[in-house]
Amino acid sequence: MVWSVWGWPQHVSMPQNFLSCDRDQELLLPPSLREWLPEGHLAWFVIDAVAELDLWEFYADYRCDGWGRAAHDPQMMVALLLYAYAVGVRSSRAVERRLQEDVAFRVIAAGQSPDHATIARFRARHERPLAALFTQVLGLCANAGLVNAGTIALDSTKLQASASGHKNLSHEQLAQAILDEAAAVDAREDELYGERRGDELPPELADARTRKERLRAAKRALEAQWERERQAAEAHNARCREYAEAKAAGAPRNGRPPKPRPVPVAPTGRVNVTDPDSRPVKTPRGFIQGYSAQAAATSDQVIVSAEVVIGGTDQGLLEPMATRTVAELKAVGARAPEVLLADAGYWNTEQVARLRAGGIDALVKPDGETRRGPPQKSHPLALELRARLETEQGMALYRERQQVIEPVFGQTKANRRIDRFLRRGLAACRSEWRLITATHNLLKLWRHRLALA
């Protein structure tokens, strides 16, 4: 050992026990993707799950004669989207970045790198098949014994649309916006062409998807709604006149006499020019421009039905969602639910009675009837359910609703950061919501298999 002038030992050059970190070293053997991730990783599970799915509807959309530019394998693209949604990465540009930086994404794509435009086009082109994956994934859960449909909890959550609430315009505002847009186009054409005719318009002015076309479509939607409201008011007023004429003739009809409705003389309401299907919906934090995402789940928090509706109210959706739930369960060979739990927003006397007559015990808190029509809190069915919910057994059963369905929305919004839709239009948002809920079930199935391993 060499000593310094201060009495401390001075290190000399000698080999150290460090692992080599030579980034210029070429691999001596071809790398294997199986060595990049552990066996129990979610990526391997998604790949294996997609191999069990029937993807004929995806493949049927491509030519089978070998002509044309080569496309990415739909099986790989489906696995890529399912994994991306499962981990909360939905933006096509974010997925493209992950394909370059994230080992799991590179394993899913087998080293390929589809760009964000390709990913977005695949998602839009196969909108319906992607929505149908929900039922197939639910079938995988049923085969694993995870679908126990004895008690089902139904609820909704509000998801923001890919639109701004400041883009809701009235009929007068739309008409003015169309005029302003036409004036702006004329000004741009004058700047581009001067006194020339300018027959060869640039693509951005000839494109049918420009703002002016969206404004005109929104204006037509408001006018169509006005026409429906006008016809409904006229039909109602005709029934009022028939009722009055029958009373004057000495043959009054049973029931409360209807009151005439004012016939709208001009389009009312507002429409969003970015996403015309979206509506202002109320949330605990205020109003947002969005949709109502419906879901029904089992006691194991497996989602058995998922739909998206326009508007924020749940009134009138109890029976349609129950029917959809029964159909989804039947498609995967599971039995219909015995008990359906829902909050007061779903209360509808006739629908609850029909479900109970069909063998489904709809346990709904009967406090929402006053929203439409006369109060029916004294209805025998409402009194029966209210008395049942006051018992210890009824309270315990109804309390399961909060413990089942609300954590599902919490996991989706908080853990996976999915609180808004990326696509526009009811059909596109429905496809995306079913894809979101399908990946929720995939995660449930993955954790179930890990627990059994």
Backbone φ, ψ for residue 160 (5° rounding): -70, 140
Question: How long, in residues, is the chain?
Answer: 453
* Amino acid 203: pLDDT: 45
For 379-422, write each residue's pLDDT tens digit.
788 888 888 888 999 899 999 988 899 999 999 999 999 999 99
Local structure of residue 154 (DSSP, 8 states): E
Q: Tell me the whole-structure pTM to 2 decimals.
A: 0.76
Name the residue with tokens 């979206």. 278
Q: pLDDT averaged over the chain? A: 80
* Amino acid 373: pLDDT: 45
Cα(242)–Cα(435) distance, integer angstroms: 50
Helices 426-452 and 127-143: crossing angle in degrees, nearest 10, is 30
Local structure of residue 416 (DSSP, 8 states): S
Q: Which residues contact 216 (CB under 8 A, 6 or more apart)?
A: 178
Q: How confident is the model at residue 26 (pLDDT cuts 50, 70, 90)?
A: low
* Amino acid 202: pLDDT: 44
* Amino acid 249: pLDDT: 76
Strand (E) or helix (H) holding 243: helix 211-248
Q: Which residues contact 290 (CB under 8 A, 6 or more apart)?
A: 158, 159, 160, 161, 278, 279, 281, 420, 421
Q: Which of 355, 346, 362 is nearest to 323 (CA)?
A: 355
For 193-213, write each residue's pLDDT tens digit.
454 444 444 443 344 455 566
For 294-327, write each residue's pLDDT tens digit.
999 999 999 999 999 988 888 889 999 999 999 9
Q: DSSP of 273-325, one letter per residue?
A: SS-TT-EEEEETTEEEEEEEEEEEEETT--EEEEEEESSS--TT-HHHHHHHH
Long-range contacts of 332-337 (CB under 8 A, 24+ apart): 332/135, 332/138, 332/139, 332/141, 332/142, 332/147, 333/139, 333/142, 334/142, 334/147, 334/149, 334/304, 335/149, 336/149, 336/360, 337/149, 337/150, 337/151, 337/152
Q: How confident is the model at residue 143 (pLDDT cuts 50, 70, 90)?
A: very high
Please state, in angstroms and as integers, the Cα–Cα distance from residue 157 to each residue in 329, 371, 432, following that order. Answer: 22, 19, 14
Q: DSSP of 337-352, one letter per residue?
A: PSEEEE-GGG--HHHH
* Residues 189/199, Cβ–Cβ less than 8 Å: no
Helices 74-86 and 42-51: crossing angle in degrees, nearest 10, is 140
Angle at the Cα of 444 from the Cα atoms of 440 and 446, rounded to 5 degrees: 115
Find the range with the poorest average confidence among 6-10, 117-121, 230-234, 348-352: 6-10
* Amino acid 201: pLDDT: 40
CB atoms within 10 A of CB 146: 17
Q: Looking at the predicted structure, is the pLDDT value of residue 180 above 90?
A: no
User: If phi over 0 gives left and psi between -120 and 50 gives alpha, with beta otherwise, what is residue 9?
Assistant: beta
